[in-house]
């Protein structure tokens, strides 16, 4: 079966750089995947991408060794299984608040007897290889988002589940849930403590911690802390930031805008 580069990096205790794909275009995805990121997350929760747009984007990702991930709209088994059948090597599931929800999520990601995933990998077999069905349970990643007060309270129990491979922090929603200002690169002590709590839970249970960031400096700092899946902004953010920089530089206004983090 085709290698899941994220698993390889994590087994070597290395961090993976991820970029968020929010523009429903196979061509913009193709441009992005040739820039050197380790993995790309197609965002079907927020933004403009639906299943019909996601499939050609997955085909674009296939032109490199980057790992294809998807954030599904919700903890819906049908949506999870469909994206896996399309060739995603990992699913990021939003708003995981308790153990029961995490179990439902991991069940949808695994074939029996480990889970309830229905067989029909379609494009996944073409992408991954003829042995997909036999190897998928050990290759596909189940990544639960921790972005609510309830999720944070139950983080240790969620991290302990065998089917969970990683916990991924949504800092914007978590900030709001904890009564703080919505930000991506958080320095608020309340959020810093929350990030450290999630990271500690993953380290206790041999799992990986992931996080949205907006700037390279903050991303590097989080990697140094121990986060092994770090998203550095999105395709739309990169496009906007560079366009603004070019306009400002051409007009002699100076100053470069930072890319905004993915939402």
Mean pLDDT computed over 198-212: 98
Mean pLDDT computed over 60-79: 98
**pLDDT given at position 183:** 87
Mean pLDDT computed over 59-71: 98
The answer on pLDDT for 6 being more than 90 is yes
The answer on pLDDT for 104 being more than 80 is yes
Euclidean distance between CA atoms 260 and 263, whole angstroms: 9
- pLDDT tens readout for residues 169-193: 999 999 999 999 988 999 999 999 9
Euclidean distance between CA atoms 31 and 50, whole angstroms: 19
Query: Range with the lowest mean pLDDT among 122-126, 148-152, 173-177, 256-260?
Result: 256-260
Q: Is-catalytic flag, 46?
A: yes
Residue 146 banded pLDDT, cuts 50, 70, 90: very high
How much is the mean pLDDT over the chain?
Answer: 95
φ/ψ region of 113 (left if φ > 0, alpha if ψ in -120 to 50, else beta) reads alpha
69: phi then psi, degrees, rounded to nearest 5: -120, 165
Mean pLDDT computed over 199-213: 98
DSSP string, 73-136: SSS-HHHHHHHHHTT-SEEEES---SHHHHHHHHHHHS-TTT--PPS--THHHHHH-TTHHHHH
The answer on pLDDT for 263 being more than 50 is no
Do the beta carbons of residue 96 and residue 117 sit within 8 Å? no
Which position has the higher pLDDT, 261 or 211? 211
Q: What is the pTM of this model?
A: 0.95
Tokens 């703080």 label which residue? Answer: 180
Taking CA 175 as the corner, what is the angle to CA 187 and CA 72, rounded to the nearest 5 degrees? 120
- pLDDT tens readout for residues 23-57: 999 999 999 999 999 999 999 999 899 999 999 99
213: phi then psi, degrees, rounded to nearest 5: -135, 170
Among 13, 46, 205, 212, which one carries the catalytic annotation?
46
């Amino acid at each position: 079966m085709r290698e899941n580069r994220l698993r390889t990096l994590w087994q070597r205790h290395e961090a993976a750089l991820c970029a968020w794909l929010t523009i429903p275009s196979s061509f913009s995805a193709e441009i992005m995947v040739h820039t050197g990121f380790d993995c790309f997350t197609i965002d079907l929760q927020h933004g403009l991408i639906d299943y019909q747009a996601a499939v050609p984007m997955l085909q674009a990702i296939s032109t490199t060794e980057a790992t294809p991930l998807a954030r599904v709209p919700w903890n819906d088994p049908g949506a999870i299984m469909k994206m896996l059948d399309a060739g995603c090597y990992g699913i990021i599931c939003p708003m995981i608040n308790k153990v029961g929800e995490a179990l439902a999520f991991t069940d949808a990601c695994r074939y029996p007897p480990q889970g309830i995933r229905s067989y029909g990998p379609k494009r996944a077999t073409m992408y991954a290889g003829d042995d997909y069905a036999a190897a998928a349970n050990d290759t596909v990643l189940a990544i639960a988002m921790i972005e609510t007060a309830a999720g944070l309270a139950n983080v240790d129990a969620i991290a302990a589940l065998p089917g969970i491979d990683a916990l991924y922090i949504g800092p914007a929603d978590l900030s709001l849930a904890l009564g703080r200002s919505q930000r991506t690169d958080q320095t608020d002590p309340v959020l810093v403590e929350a990030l450290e709590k999630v990271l500690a839970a993953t380290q206790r249970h041999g799992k990986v911690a992931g996080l949205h960031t907006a700037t390279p400096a903050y991303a590097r700092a989080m990697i140094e802390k121990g986060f092994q899946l770090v998203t550095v902004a999105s395709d739309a953010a990169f496009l906007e930031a560079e366009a603004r920089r070019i306009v400002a530089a051409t007009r002699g206004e100076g100053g470069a805008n930072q890319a905004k983090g993915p939402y």
